[in-house]
C-alpha cells in the first residue's frame, strides 16, 4: 500500500465513526515529494554518531551553536539531537510545550514578539550551516502532552462546552484509568489534577503537562500539522517523546495499546507521504519485546532506543562480567528488528540513569543503584534511577569512561553522545539549585544538565595531562575509529567464548569485519588470541598489548582493543 492508502486505513481504524472527508480535506493541498513508496531507502541514521544537546546550555542560542559546528564536526559528530527547543514555560526543560510551531525566542536571539518569518530565517540558516557540514538535525517533540499554558488548554479549562475541551482528557471520577501506573513516583501522587471546578484533567507526567486526547481526530491532525511544518523547514527527523502512552482505555495500564501503534503508524505514513527519509525515533521506555513493536514491519518508527542495554553496560562493568550484555542482546531478550530499522544506544542522556522495573529486575536495580549512586542526593524516583553524569558515575576515572564508550560504540546500533560527556563534564550543583528555585520541583535530573563554560573548557583542553583533556582526546579518537568502518552501525554481532571478565565479539557485514575485546575486570587479564590466522589491524586500543609469542592479548584493568579483520 502507498503511504496515502495507509493514511486512509489508519484513519478508519482510529475513527470509524468520523467522516473520511475530514482526512481528505486535510490531505488536499499538501506538497508531496513522493507518494508511491511505503518508506524511504535512505537509512542514513545507521551510520550516524548522534550528539545530544540543549541549545541554550551548550552555547546560548542558535547563532552560538553555529559557532560550535566546527567543534562538533571535528569531534566526529554527524547528527545533532536538539533537546527541546519549542516554545515552553520551561518547567520541564522544554518538554512542556506551549506552542508547537514556535521556537523559544531566546534560542533564536529574538524578542518575544518575533514573526514566523524571522524564526524561519534564523533556524533555516542554522539548518543550512549544519547540512553544509554533513550534519543531520533531529529534535524532540512531545506528542503525548503539552504545557498547561498551551493556548488550547487554557481555553479548554474555562468551561465544559469550550471548543477545545475535548482536546484533553477530563473526568470527575479519578478512578478512571486507575490501572495506569504513576510514572513520577515520589514527585507526583496522582495522574489526575483538579481544575478547581469539580473536574480533573489527566496527566502521565508532571501535573502541569495535560495529556492530549487522541480519541479526538482533531488532535491527530493538529499534531500532524506540527510535524509537517518542521519537516518542510528541513528537519531530518523527530524524537517522539513518551509515545507508549498516547491512547488511553479504561481497564488497561494505558501503555502500548494497539491504537497507540496506529497513531504512530499514521505519523510515519504521513512523513513518508510528504517527504520520505525523515527519521521517526521512538522514545519508548519499555522492554525490547515491547519496543520492537514501535518499529512495526518497517512501517512505524525507523529507530528506537535500546533502554535495557544501557543499565546492563553499567552492570557489566560493575560486576566485571560479560553476562549482562550477552544476555540482553540475546534473541530471547532483544528480538530481531526489521531490515530498515535501527537501535539507538547511549550511556547517558539528559535524564537519570534509569532503573525502572519495567526493564530491569529488582535485583539488578538494587545492585546498580548501590554500586553507582555514590552520593544520596543523586537518587531519583526512590531508587529507580541515578542522577549523575557519566564521569561522576565512573568516579572520574578516564579508563573506565573509555571502556564504557568502547561498549556503546561497538555494540549494536547508533550511538548517542550526551553533550559534555566527551570531555568528562561533571554534575552541575549550581544549575540544579537554580532550577529548583525556578520550577519548584526537586528534580535531581537537573544535576546532569548545566551550561558549558567554553573559556574554561578551552583552558582545560590545553592541559594535556588533565582529566578533561585526557577524556576528550580518547573519545575523539574512538569516534574517528568508529566512523572509519560502516560495520559498527550495520553489522551482525557474534559473541565469542571467553572468560567471564572478557567481553569479545565480532561485528560483520559484506566486505567489513571487526573484532572487539573488552576487559571488564579491574585487574589485568590475558585472553587467548581468537583469530590467530587472520590479519588484524588495530583501529583503537587502551591498555592493551599483544604477546605474539604466546598468541595472547594482555589487557590492563578496563583495557580494550578494536581490530579490523582484513582476511
- What residues are labeled active site? 241, 283
Over 63-127, what HEC string results?
A: HHHHHCHHHHHHHCCCEEEECCCEECCCCCCCCCCCEEEEECHHHHCCCCCCCHHHHHHHHHHHH
Distances in whole angstroms, Cα of residue 96 to Cα of each of 1, 139, 141, 276 = 36, 14, 10, 28
Could you tell me the strand order of the sheet in which 192-194 lies? 170-171, 200-202, 192-194
Closest CA to 436 of 427, 424, 445, 426: 445
Q: Which residue's entry shows cell 557540514? A: 133
C-alpha to C-alpha distance for 479 and 540, rounded to whole angstroms: 10
Q: Are 143 and 207 in contact (CB under 8 A)?
A: no
Which string of DSSP letters, residue by residue, matches 208-250?
T-PBB-TTSHHHHHHHHHHHHHHHHHT--EEEEETGGGSS--T
* Three-state SS at 173: coil
Tell me which DSSP letter residue 426 carries.
P
Closest CA to 93 of 205, 244, 214: 205
Distances in whole angstroms, Cα of residue 254 to Cα of each of 90, 107, 182, 257, 258 = 26, 35, 11, 7, 10
- The neighbouring-strand residues paired with 420 are none
Nine cell digits for residue 103: 521556537
**Helix 217-233 × helix 3-14 angle, to 10°:** 150
| Helix or strand run (H / E) with residue 354 | strand 353-354
CA 415 distance to own-chain centroid: 10
- Largest CA-CA distance found in the chain, in angstroms, rounded: 83
C-alpha to C-alpha distance for 194 and 170, rounded to whole angstroms: 10
Nine cell digits for residue 47: 551510520
Nine cell digits for residue 524: 589485568
**Helix 116-132 × helix 217-233 angle, to 10°:** 60
Q: How many CB atoms lie within 10 A of CB 559?
A: 23
C-alpha to C-alpha distance for 565 and 351, rounded to whole angstroms: 37
* Three-state SS at 58: helix
Exposure string for 373-410, b = 16+ CB within 10 A, e = fewer: beeeebbbbebbbbbbbbbbbbeebbbbbbbbbbbbbb
Helices (H), 171-330: 217-233, 258-274, 288-291, 309-319, 323-328
Closest CA to 427 of 440, 442, 446, 441: 446
Amino acid at each position: 500500500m502507498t503511504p496515502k492508502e495507509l493514511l486512509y486505513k489508519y484513519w478508519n481504524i482510529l475513527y470509524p465513526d468520523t467522516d473520511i472527508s475530514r482526512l481528505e480535506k486535510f490531505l488536499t493541498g499538501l506538497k508531496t515529494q513522493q507518494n508511491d513508496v511505503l518508506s524511504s531507502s535512505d537509512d542514513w541514521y545507521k551510520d550516524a554518531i548522534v550528539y545530544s544537546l540543549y541549545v541554550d546550555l551548550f552555547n546560548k542560542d542558535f547563532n552560538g551553536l553555529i559557532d560550535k559546528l566546527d567543534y562538533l564536526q571535528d569531534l566526529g559528530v554527524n547528527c545533532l539531537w536538539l533537546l527541546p527547543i519549542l516554545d515552553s514555560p520551561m518547567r520541564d526543560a522544554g518538554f512542556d510545550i506551549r506552542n508547537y510551531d514556535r521556537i523559544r525566542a531566546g534560542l533564536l536571539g529574538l524578542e518575544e514578539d518575533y514573526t514566523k518569518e524571522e524564526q524561519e530565517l534564523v533556524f533555516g540558516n542554522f539548518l543550512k550551516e549544519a547540512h553544509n557540514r554533513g550534519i543531520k538535525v533531529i529534535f524532540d517533540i512531545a506528542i503525548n502532552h503539552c504545557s498547561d499554558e498551551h493556548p488550547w488548554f487554557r481555553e479548554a479549562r474555562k468551561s465544559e462546552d469550550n471548543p477545545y475541551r475535548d482536546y484533553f482528557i477530563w473526568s470527575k471520577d479519578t478512578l478512571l484509568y486507575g490501572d495506569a501506573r504513576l510514572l513520577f513516583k515520589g514527585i507526583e501522587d496522582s495522574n489526575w489534577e483538579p481544575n478547581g471546578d469539580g473536574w480533573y484533567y489527566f496527566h502521565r507526567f508532571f501535573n502541569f503537562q495535560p495529556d492530549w486526547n487522541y480519541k479526538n481526530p482533531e488532535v491527530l491532525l493538529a499534531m500532524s500539522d506540527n510535524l509537517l511544518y518542521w519537516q518542510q523547514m528541513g528537519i531530518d527527523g523527530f524524537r517522539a517523546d513518551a509515545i507508549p502512552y498516547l491512547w488511553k482505555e479504561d481497564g488497561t495500564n494505558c501503555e502500548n495499546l494497539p491504537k497507540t501503534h496506529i497513531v504512530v503508524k499514521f505519523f510515519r505514513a504521513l512523513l513518508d507521504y510528504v517527504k520520505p527519509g525523515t527519521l521517526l525515533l521512538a522514545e519508548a521506555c519499555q522492554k525490547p519485546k515491547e519496543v520492537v513493536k514501535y518499529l512495526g514491519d518497517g512501517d512505524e518508527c525507523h529507530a528506537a532506543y535500546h533502554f535495557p542495554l544501557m543499565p546492563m553496560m553499567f552492570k557489566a562493568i560493575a560486576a566485571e562480567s560479560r553476562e549482562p550484555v550477552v544476555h540482553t542482546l540475546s534473541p530471547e531478550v532483544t528480538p530481531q528488528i526489521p531490515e530498515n530499522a535501527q537501535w539507538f544506544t547511549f550511556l547517558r542522556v539528559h535524564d537519570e540513569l534509569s532503573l525502572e522495573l519495567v526493564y530491569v529486575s529488582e535485583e539488578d536495580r538494587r545492585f546498580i543503584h548501590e554500586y553507582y549512586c555514590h552520593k544520596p542526593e543523586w537518587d531519583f524516583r526512590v531508587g529507580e534511577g541515578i542522577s549523575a553524569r557519566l564521569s561522576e558515575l565512573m568516579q572520574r576515572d578516564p579508563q573506565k569512561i573509555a571502556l564504557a564508550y568502547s561498549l556503546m560504540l561497538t555494540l549494536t546500533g547508533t550511538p548517542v553522545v550526551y553533550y559534555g560527556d566527551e570531555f568528562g563534564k561533571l554534575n552541575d550543583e549550581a544549575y540544579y539549585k537554580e532550577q529548583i528555585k525556578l520550577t519548584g520541583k526537586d528534580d535531581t535530573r537537573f544535576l546532569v544538565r548545566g551550561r558549558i563554560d567554553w573559556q574554561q573548557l578551552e583552558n582545560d583542553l590545553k592541559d594535556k595531562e588533565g582529566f578533561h583533556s585526557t577524556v576528550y582526546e580518547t573519545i575523539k579518537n574512538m569516534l574517528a575509529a568508529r566512523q572509519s568502518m560502516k560495520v559498527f552501525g550495520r553489522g551482525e554481532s557474534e559473541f565469542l567464548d571467553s572468560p567471564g571478565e572478557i567481553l569479545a565479539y565480532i561485528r560483520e557485514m559484506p566486505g567489513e569485519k571487526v573484532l572487539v575485546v573488552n576487559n571488564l575486570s579491574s585487574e589485568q587479564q590475558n585472553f587467548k588470541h581468537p583469530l590467530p590466522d587472520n590479519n588484524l589491524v588495530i583501529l583503537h586500543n587502551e591498555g592493551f598489548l599483544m604477546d605474539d609469542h604466546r598468541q595472547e592479548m594482555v589487557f590492563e584493568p578496563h583495557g580494550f582493543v578494536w581490530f579490523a579483520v582484513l582476511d
